[in-house]
Structure 1
Amino acid sequence: MSAVDLARSTIRALLLAGVRDFVLSPGSRNTPLSLELAEAESRGLLRLHVRIDERTAAFLALGLGKGSGLPTAVVSTSGTAAANFHPAVIEASLSLTPMAVVTANRPLFMLGTGANQTIKQVGLYGDAARLAVHVDDQRPETWDATLHSGILAMTTSPAGPGPVQIDLGLTPPLVPDDLDFITPIQDGEEADPLPVAAAAAEIALPERALVVVAECGELLARSAIRSAVAAGYPVHVEAGSALASAGPACLRAGAFLLRSGLVDERRPDHLLIVGRPTLSRPIPALASRPDVAVTVVSDDPSLINPLQTGSPALRASSLTIAGTVDREYAEAWRAADVAAARQIDAETAATFDAGAATAVVAASAPDLLVVASSNPIRDLDERSTRSAQWVVVNRGAAGIDGLVSTSVGAALAAQAADPESSATALLGDLAFLHDTTGLVIGPAEPRPDLTIVVLNNDGGAIFASLEQGAPDYAEHFERVFGTPHGTSIEKLCAATSTTYQRCTTREELRSALGERPAGIRVLEVPISREDERQRRQAFTARVVGAVKATIS
């Protein structure tokens, strides 16, 4: 048996497990995989995406997985190429996204001999990978069992779905001497089983309870929101994946109500948290109060001590919420929410800042919206209405790297299912610059119809609203936190033949978003960072003031 035979067996095992999108970065040691994947695509067995940058490739696979709900695969050569997958592997792990990370390697006996391009690849991703297996092309009797165990761990690990590493020890010759490519999957052949969902749960809440729904699976979010709203409890849905299940009966301004005196004047006796909140500091602050009981429900088995409450999360895939709400309490939250929303809309209409631009993007209602961590997701949390919207975020590790590629992958997956669906990504300038190689796409590669909105304030605006943005640290703030770069987004787009348009007003942005792109385009929205801290603090103060007026 040979390296080519092992490549064929690996790809076929992944196809059998339901993988249809493979992302490949070029190299020498992964030659047999590259040739087999290209041939398999030509025969209609899979869809291949080639990227020259391994970090971009891994985030593309991540986006494809998030957009399709299916496991994906990313393939690299040996050495530091495999190390560049690590950031996306971490995000896949924390966001419970199944992904096969296939790393070509030299035989393990060559480690430490001075052989070129050899590093300790097996287990390179630590506990971010559900399992790491090494398959030796000289031991064909081990292939089936080892590949099966590695692939199965993508969906059945006790830690939940996530990435696995399949490391292949390949010895020359690396090219086939025949045309006996992958055997197509036959009728009756079965894929590895998907994980068994946790049982449904039911919770009875007291009269004065608050429900927060954050990052979790669609079924859990939808069932929790639906039953909590039906019972009359105030429901705050964090911007993120849970927005797909939100509706007008949910709190519009929950991010501000939690910062206001409402939590004292109309204090909830019980806080029910569904999923993993990542955006709002007031949520863990409320959970830490001794006079508030806390229950956390999650479909993520790795959530051991959420919000440091000292209690494990209740594991469930769906949730029914029962109870009789205190009508006066619920009405106070509703009245405060209406007043806050009215103030938010007035502020948004008065000034075209980052928050207002975000509101325009949200109101354009794309079928898929990919949002960067940092300020864009927080502005969406504060400015958008709570209408059902499919939002993809990389909030597992809350990084800003790889977001162009994640967006491309999610859009490709969405439009494979529905070619007419629209896709928009909302990124800050630093997130965009972090993954400009995501725009380096070969002419033969699949491309989605995707609009990337770049809110360009020439630096890291989020730091202005954090502790380091205080006047005490102003002397060094711009260099080490603001990090102005002066980069021309237009010229970057020209260098990659990406369609570009500059939108300086609300009307220009709204008009551009009303047009469907042919391929990938970038809409740059210039935004000032001047007085960023003061503007955001003043905005929050006015919205919280509107809340205070309803309870004083």
Structure 2
Amino acid sequence: MNHQELLTKQVFTLVDILWSHGVDEVVISPGSRSTPIAIAAELHPHIKTYVHPDERSAAFFALGLSKRDHSPVGIICTSGTAAANYTPAIAEAELSHLPLIAITADRPHELRDVGAPQSIDQNNMYGNYVKYYTELPPADAHKSALNLIGTKVMQCSRYFNGNETGPVQINVPVREPLIPDITRTDLFYREKAVRPEYQLTDHALTELTGTGLVLIGETMETLSGIEPVLDKDYLAVIADPRQHIRKTLHNTVTHHDLIFNALDEDQFSYIEENVDYILRIGDPLTSKAVNSFLSATEIPQYLISEHQNLKTFPIAPYQAFVGQVRGTLKNIEFKPGGRRFKHWFSNMDAAVESHIDLNIHQYTDEGRCTYEIFKHTEAGRSFFLSSSMPVRDGERYDTVNTHTIYANRGANGIDGVVSTALGMASKQKVTLIIGDVALYHDMNGLIMSKLEDVDLNIIVFNNNGGGIFSFLPQYDNQDHFERLFGTPLDLDFRHTAALYDFNYHEVNSYADIDSRLVNAAGRNLIEIKTDREQNLKQHQQMKTEIGDMVKSIGY
């Protein structure tokens, strides 16, 4: 067989076996060395391909495709620094347990370490961020060649679902000439493989006795249908904004950050005396105040993790259990405890929500705008909240709790937020709430809205800098704050909207936010210009008001 035939069999087989193991979508970044792999993906009859010219944004776009259903998504790039640009998204995928499959084309061995162009060391280049790494040999005629591909893909498919889900890398050295035989679509003949069942570990949590405080973070598995297990008068349940059960479980506490920020010593002691155990489910909560409480309390804590890589932050639990959340919860025998704590805690949450609803008219800051955005957005539209202030304001000011909320909270970075939201928006209606620095950080990602005709509503709070730093200790050092942390960019995003064919709307007041604006179809960029100093003062004022109210609530 000649080189073209060998190369065609290798890459077409690789792509077909990946599809058989669940890779239905692939994001391709154009390049020369990756030509045969890209063509194989493009020709496959059952794979949907996307083309993104920026590898960094492309990988985050793929992350967004995977995020809703945790489905395996491939990313294909050429050799050299192109592959290095995948690193931030792969790090986020590892921490968020998302199965990205990085298929990185590479120079063959004779072109490595000799000064050949576009050649860097790609062997296990993502280090600790991938669950599995392999390199295929250059295409050859050895009888084991195709069997080896099947073996390697089967090995990496272990990480496409289950309790060790995460990204993998397949490095593919390719010799020239690079063009495969495009007529060989007969090589795409496999059927879907049966995905392995996600099994519980043998060591399971079987019994909990007394009054419980249940904290539910983001989970890979939907918890729909588990509500009757948790809807008990001796179980108080806190749900993170990214945990969708908060929309359907009665009396779920969602204003926990404001509550735990305000608790006095007597209230802390009341919790210690009336709660017998704390059950933590899924990823850690966003709330810093809740995590501080967990670090300080003496109440025994139990963790149900979907993944072998336990996330014990902020403190190691008394015991941890790995497995499916729904199955684990259904197998627990909850023995009743007292009812007083849940009644007190739920009433406190309701009081905070009522205070916000009744007093929000006194405010004009980003919090007020966030409140109006949630209030006027139709329930069928999902939110993607950027790291820093948007996810925190969403947690604080969402009093309707009717929307599905997503965020990149693995590494909590602002890189790739736009691209991740666009990946999700290719499958559902999405509104992205983001700050000016984060939008600037991933403006390249907006090109996919044009190339793939993806609709997205972007609401950008432009306070001319990094607003979250005003809430951190760095703010006290005013001599250096603005240059090092405030970082004003002086950007007008109407030009961004024009460049990427978005409709542009400038909002000067919360009063301009209505249902027509936030639910508009198509691609829309809504710029809300705010003042960082005013935003800080009004946020702190609301926090103080609610803190005083929380402290006044007796038992």
Q: In the superposition, relative to structure 1, how do residues 342 and 455 fare at CA in structure 2: closer, same or farther (>3 Å)?
A: same
Q: Normalised by the size of structure 1, how large is the TM-score?
A: 0.90
Q: Does residue 295 in structure 1 map to residue 307 in structure 2?
A: no
Alpha-carbon separation, structure 2, partners of 1:442 and 1:464: 33
Contact 2:211 2:234 in 1 (8 A): no
Alpha-carbon separation, structure 2, partners of 1:226 and 1:279: 25
- The aligned residue for residue 405 of structure 2 is 391
Q: Does residue 323 in structure 1 map to residue 335 in structure 2?
A: yes
CA deviation string 1:109-130 (max 9, x = no partner) = 3211111111111201012111
Q: In the superposition, relative to structure 1, how do residues 139 and 348 fare at CA in structure 2: closer, same or farther (>3 Å)?
A: farther
Instruction: State which of 424, 428, 438 in structure 2 corresponds to 1:431.
Output: 438
* 1:152-301 matches, cutoff 5 A: 152-156=155-159, 160-177=164-181, 179-181=183-185, 183-186=187-190, 189-191=191-193, 193-194=195-196, 196-198=198-200, 204-219=207-222, 221-222=223-224, 226-242=228-244, 246-259=248-261, 260-261=263-264, 262-267=267-272, 268-289=275-296, 291-301=298-308
Where 2:139 maps in the other structure, the secondary structure is coil
Alpha-carbon separation, structure 1, partners of 2:246 and 2:236: 18
Alpha-carbon separation, structure 2, partners of 1:378 and 1:148: 45
Contact 1:248 1:387 in 2 (8 A): no
Alpha-carbon separation, structure 1, partners of 2:173 and 2:439: 36
* 1:400-549 matches, cutoff 5 A: 400-414=414-428, 422-441=429-448, 445-469=451-475, 471=476, 473-513=477-517, 515-518=519-522, 520-549=523-552
Read off the aligned partner of 2:389 and give its amino acid letter. N
Give the deviation of 1:437 after TM superposition: 0.6
* 1:296-375 matches, cutoff 5 A: 296-303=303-310, 305-309=312-316, 311-317=318-324, 318=326, 319-320=329-330, 322-363=334-375, 364=377, 365-375=379-389
Alpha-carbon separation, structure 2, partners of 1:348 and 1:398: 28
% identity of equivalent residues: 27
The answer for unaligned runs of 5 or more in structure 1 is 415-421
- The aligned residue for residue 59 of structure 1 is 60
Alpha-carbon separation, structure 1, partners of 2:381 and 2:127: 36
* 1:78-97 matches, cutoff 5 A: 78-97=79-98
Q: In the superposition, relative to structure 1, how do residues 194 and 437 fare at CA in structure 2: closer, same or farther (>3 Å)?
A: farther
Give the deviation of 1:505 after TM superposition: 2.9
Tell me whether 225-234 or 326-335 shows the greater mean CA deviation.
Answer: 225-234
Q: In the superposition, relative to structure 1, how do residues 22 and 244 fare at CA in structure 2: closer, same or farther (>3 Å)?
A: farther
Contact 1:77 1:104 in 2 (8 A): yes
CA deviation string 1:117-176 (max 9, x = no partner) = 111112010121111111123345234334543454244488611111011110011013
Alpha-carbon separation, structure 1, partners of 2:216 and 2:224: 9
Q: In the superposition, relative to structure 1, how do residues 428 and 197 fare at CA in structure 2: closer, same or farther (>3 Å)?
A: farther
Alpha-carbon separation, structure 2, partners of 1:442 and 1:294: 45
Tell me whether 458-467 or 278-287 shows the greater mean CA deviation.
Answer: 278-287
Q: In the superposition, relative to structure 1, how do residues 390 and 210 fare at CA in structure 2: closer, same or farther (>3 Å)?
A: same
Alpha-carbon separation, structure 1, partners of 2:8 and 2:167: 24
Where 2:383 maps in the other structure, the secondary structure is strand
Read off the aligned partner of 2:458 and give its amino acid letter. I
Give the deviation of 1:506 after TM superposition: 3.0
Q: In the superposition, relative to structure 1, how do residues 120 and 465 fare at CA in structure 2: closer, same or farther (>3 Å)?
A: same
CA RMSD of aligned residues (A): 2.5
- The aligned residue for residue 28 of structure 1 is 32
Where 1:88 maps in the other structure, the secondary structure is helix
Tell me whether 480-489 or 271-280 shows the greater mean CA deviation.
Answer: 271-280
Q: Normalised by the size of structure 2, how large is the TM-score?
A: 0.89
Q: In the superposition, relative to structure 1, how do residues 198 and 447 fare at CA in structure 2: closer, same or farther (>3 Å)?
A: farther
Where 1:218 maps in the other structure, the secondary structure is coil
Alpha-carbon separation, structure 2, partners of 1:514 and 1:452: 9
Tell me whether 247-256 or 87-96 shows the greater mean CA deviation.
Answer: 247-256
Where 1:258 maps in the other structure, the secondary structure is helix
CA deviation string 1:176-199 (max 9, x = no partner) = 35522363435xx23262452326
Give the deviation of 1:25 after TM superposition: 0.6
Read off the aligned partner of 2:239 and give its amino acid letter. V
Contact 2:458 2:525 in 1 (8 A): yes
Give the deviation of 1:245 after TM superposition: 5.3
Contact 1:287 1:309 in 2 (8 A): no
Where 1:340 maps in the other structure, the secondary structure is helix
Where 1:440 maps in the other structure, the secondary structure is helix
The answer for unaligned runs of 5 or more in structure 2 is none
Where 1:307 maps in the other structure, the secondary structure is coil
Give the deviation of 1:250 after TM superposition: 0.6
Alpha-carbon separation, structure 1, partners of 2:285 and 2:453: 31
Alpha-carbon separation, structure 2, partners of 1:130 and 1:488: 41
Q: In the superposition, relative to structure 1, how do residues 18 and 160 fare at CA in structure 2: closer, same or farther (>3 Å)?
A: same
Alpha-carbon separation, structure 2, partners of 1:337 and 1:382: 11
Corresponding pairs, count = 535
Tell me whether 352-361 or 505-514 shows the greater mean CA deviation.
Answer: 505-514
Contact 1:250 1:386 in 2 (8 A): no
- The aligned residue for residue 418 of structure 1 is none
